[in-house]
Structure 1
């Protein structure tokens, strides 16, 4: 049984102004995707292809215009109160922009404690112990707990967002371009951390990105999207088999590890 499943979901957007409504814009067109417990899936595509919209539908932040999203074979729209609480606990999300994903007035302790207060039955003492444990898990010093978002680096804040997602012991974390704003060194560090946490905690990931290099290092299978549709799906070990034009463009965008030497000046 899959943990989370989308079946032929579609989503359109329309804006409104004083002069009337804009033309409807298609973001998703009949997309299906299934994620099992403990599985890591790479959702790959160019900016604007619909992958972030699909991520928001899967975690319940938006509703599909057509189709259904299922959590443990239950339609998200018809979950009981207990099932919805379990869904919120089991499926967490880490966003690309960590600064916008936190309240600037909250210190790191309050940011991490938020899901603990709403999604667990831990008392204040147990929450404090869990916060210390989470900071250690994401390799941050305990002293950072009292600092504000403006007082830490971007890499540290993104690790705090990962700690917040880990707080209620989820089964799946959706990473929406979660390391794209980090430099190459911090990206490698974050990927290593996520892999380590998967091994120790049994967490699955949906890794949303446009960077084929990150998918190669992290995911078990890759789903490629283009213009609101899934156009290709292969195991990570078979990336050479990608043939769709959208997939080939993403492959061509990967720079070699060492640039070729320029020809001698003429």
Structure 2
């Protein structure tokens, strides 16, 4: 059985106008896919294609206009109260916009403790211990726990959000461009941490990104979205065989490593006149 699946998901927004009723805009259409336990799937697509909307639907932050989201084979809208709490604990979303994803008046400790307080049975001592543990996992200093979001760097705050998601030991983590604000070193260490959790705990990931290089390093299977639809699905090892025009645009947008150096080397090899 799949851990989570989308079945014919569609999403339409009603726009509004001062002059009267606005127009309906369809942002997702006939989206179907499934993620198994312990699997890593990349959801690729250009900005504005509907990736983030789909991520919010999968965790229940928004409702689909058509279709349904299934968690372990059951609609998330049909879950009982205790089952809903388990779903919220087991499916975590890390947003790209880390400042908008936290309460600016909360300390880092309070930010990480929030899901621990609502979704686990840990007492205050246990929550404090878990905060220290996940801060270390995310390569953050212990003294950051007493700081406010405005007192830490953007990269640090993004790792705080990652630590918050991992604190409750979820079964699935949806990463919505969550590594894009990190430098290369921190991206590599974050990927190593996520891979270790997958080996140790069987954690599954949906890696929402437009970066083909990160998808190659992290995912086993890729879904390509364009204009609200999944237009191609293929294993990561076969990304060179992409056929859809939207897929090829993503592939062709990847720059070679150190392009300026390669260009200089090419010039250096030219004969002097």
Q: Normalising TM by the smaller chain, what interval? A: over 0.9
Within-5 A mapping of 1:34-113: 34-113=34-113
C-alpha distance in 2 between matches for 1:227 and 1:37? 28
* Structure 2 match to 1:239: 239
Post-superposition Cα deviations, 1:14-34, rounded to whole Å, max 9, x if no partner, equal: 221322232211110000010
Which stretches of structure 1, 4 residues or more, deviate above 4 A after TM superposition? 262-266
Structure 1 range deviating more: 253-262 or 39-48: 253-262
C-alpha distance in 2 between matches for 1:57 and 1:231? 19
* Structure 1 match to 2:263: 261
Higher alpha-carbon Rg: 2
Q: Secondary structure at the match of 2:127?
A: helix
C-alpha distance in 1 between matches for 2:187 and 2:169? 23
C-alpha distance in 2 between matches for 1:5 and 1:250? 25
TM-score by length of 1: 0.95
The size of the alignment, in residue pairs, is: 266
Structure 1 range deviating more: 16-25 or 171-180: 16-25
Counterpart contact for 2:120–2:168, Cα < 8 Å? yes
Structure 1 range deviating more: 29-38 or 197-206: 197-206
* Structure 2 match to 1:168: 168
C-alpha distance in 1 between matches for 2:141 and 2:169? 21
* Structure 2 match to 1:186: 186
CA deviation after TM superposition for structure 1 residue 135, in Å: 1.2
Cα RMSD for the two superposed structures: 1.5
* Structure 2 match to 1:250: 250
* Structure 2 match to 1:29: 29
Counterpart contact for 1:14–1:24, Cα < 8 Å? yes
Q: Secondary structure at the match of 1:62?
A: coil
Structure 1 range deviating more: 141-150 or 111-120: 141-150
Q: Secondary structure at the match of 1:43?
A: strand
Counterpart contact for 1:97–1:181, Cα < 8 Å? no
CA deviation after TM superposition for structure 1 residue 118, in Å: 0.5
Within-5 A mapping of 1:80-159: 80-159=80-159
* Structure 2 match to 1:17: 17
Structure 1: where are the runs of 5+ without partners? none
Q: Secondary structure at the match of 1:33?
A: strand
C-alpha distance in 2 between matches for 1:71 and 1:155? 32
C-alpha distance in 2 between matches for 1:53 and 1:249? 22
C-alpha distance in 1 between matches for 2:102 and 2:76? 25
* Structure 2 match to 1:214: 214
* Structure 1 match to 2:225: 225
